[in-house]
Amino acid sequence: MDKVVNSPEQAVADIAPGSSIAISGFSVDHGFAASLIVALRNQGTRDLCVVCNSLGAPGQLRPQILVENKQVSRLIASFSARPGVPTDAERQIAAGELALELVPQGTLVERLRAGGSGIAAFYTRTSVDTDVAQGKETRDFNGQRHVMETGLTVDYAFLRAFRADRAGNLEFRGGNQNFNPSFAKAARVAIVEVDEIVEAGEIPPERVDLPGIFVSRVVLRTVQTEAPNPTRKKGRGQDTLRTYHGKPGMARQDIARRAALLLDEHSYVNLGVGLPTLITNYLGQRDVTLHAENGIMGYGPLVSDQDFNRDHYNASGEFVGLRPGASFFDSVTSFEMARSGKLAAVVLGAYQVGESGDLANWSTPNMVGGGIGGAMDLVASNSRLIILMEHTDGKGQPKLVKRCSYPLTAHSRVDTVVTDLALLRRVNGRFRIDEVARGFDVDEVRALMEMDVDVAEQLGVMQDAFAAGSDIE
């Protein structure tokens, strides 16, 4: 059985108008099937339904170029927009030219896995009490409300792997399994783009990450993406200081440093994108095992020199080192770990936190769509939820509010908040200020909040915990 085709153009030639295509890839350019995407762009097939994690930014060889070429009429994704990165997709969505269905990341891969397994629907705690659940059937199991999600199948899937044999067996490297297995299983025709094709039997059976029964066509990569840069900066710098009452708050790196001390020894912890990723640099040799939803467990500090592996990256697409005992897996497995409660803690950023512990971190009122990502699935269990953020937004408006005005990620789930001015814990349903940043008093901190909070009898100073080397309870 020989599944090799001669070119990307040949591999996509039968994709007809109105087809649905699941395009795998997570955070890094080289993880996308760029040759297949470009071939489909050049072919010009229109009225496509694209299923993906995100479209990517303008200029990247990702599904975004199909939208820019007006080939997509429907999008099913976890991200349609990101703050500060305007795209043609947002314009088309706003104009009603592109239909959008936003799906939490873990739910997306589970829907495709279910569809490929012949499972029509399933129930999940993910998205309960959020806009995503509107209009969907809900049902109680063991006293907890669940949302029904339907299985999802597609006509085609574009995959990216390191190596394939002529029978379609695939081998991935590092964190590049991510969406590939679930997308392949859901597709009538799965097409994989690879760096190397070998004869059947040359990939040892124990290194076959996806059996060839799920793969229809294999093609060699012809389009090279930009080489990764481990020193690239994302977002605002670690040392940026926001000013309050004429005084600087703590640096972002110190927010992360304080949060690192909140993590228990011998625990598994997920770090969300943005500020939480800085925690990796402040764990040292502590027994804290880091998990990322793209499919990596046991990673270490961010890599900032040339001694990096381009297939070792976290959910932010930042390159990381590996600690002894690290492992790789696909995104379905990754979210199984999260929803089942195997993680001791989840650390995320936020736009707003409400007085009752509500979290809003995926969309703002001025965004067209938004970026749910993996957050809703990550907080669906009873894992401890720690939020890192600046105390106010860029316009000086409170982020610790009475009620969230932004769309909710989760209701009544936040346990701890660390800002550049304070550390707050939710005790018996109410937030309590346990520490403030040096140079600020509790009245100054409370003046920059909407929510009503308690104050600890023994109020601490956040920076004092650094010297102590452990959490101050």
- Would you state the pLDDT for residue 239? 63
Active site residue 293: yes
pLDDT band at 238, cuts 50/70/90?
low
Q: Which residue has the tokens 């990939």?
A: 203
pTM for this model (two decimals): 0.95
Rounded CA-CA distance 107/427 in Å is: 31
Structure confidence by residue, pLDDT tens digits, 240-264: 799 999 999 999 999 999 999 999 9
pLDDT band at 472, cuts 50/70/90?
very low
Mean pLDDT of 33-59: 96
Mean pLDDT of 328-350: 97
Q: Which residue has the tokens 């390191």?
A: 162
Rounded CA-CA distance 379/128 in Å is: 11
> Environment class of residue 131 by beta-carbon count within 10 Å: exposed (0-12), middle (13-18) or buried (19+)?
middle
- Would you state the pLDDT for residue 418? 98
- Would you state the pLDDT for residue 473? 41
Nearest to 353 by CA among 428, 269, 459, 431: 431
Nearest to 282 by CA among 250, 260, 251, 265: 260
- Return the structure tokens found at 229: 């840069």
User: Mean of the per-residue pLDDT values for the chain?
Assistant: 94
Which residues lie closer than 8 Å to 146 by C-beta, 6 or more apart? 123, 124, 125, 128, 138, 139, 140
Strand pairing class (170-171; 144-150): unpaired
- Would you state the pLDDT for residue 249? 97
Q: Over 70: is that where the pLDDT of 232 sits? A: no
Mean pLDDT of 281-286: 94
Higher-scoring residue by pLDDT: 189, 369: 189
Which one of the listed residues 149, 171, 293, 435 is annotated catalytic?
Answer: 293
- Return the structure tokens found at 406: 């932004």
pLDDT band at 411, cuts 50/70/90?
very high
What is the percent of the chain where pLDDT is above 90?
A: 89
pLDDT band at 225, cuts 50/70/90?
confident
Q: Domains for the chain: give ranges and CATH numbers.
A: 11-102+153-218 (3.40.1080.10), 107-150 (no CATH), 243-468 (3.40.1080.10)
- Return the structure tokens found at 44: 């010009």
Structure confidence by residue, pLDDT tens digits, 100-159: 999 999 999 999 999 999 999 999 999 999 999 999 999 999 999 999 999 999 999 999
- Would you state the pLDDT for residue 306? 73
- Return the structure tokens found at 413: 């789930």
Which residues lie closer than 8 Å to 108 by C-beta, 6 or more apart? 51, 53, 76, 77, 78, 152
Mean pLDDT of 3-9: 98
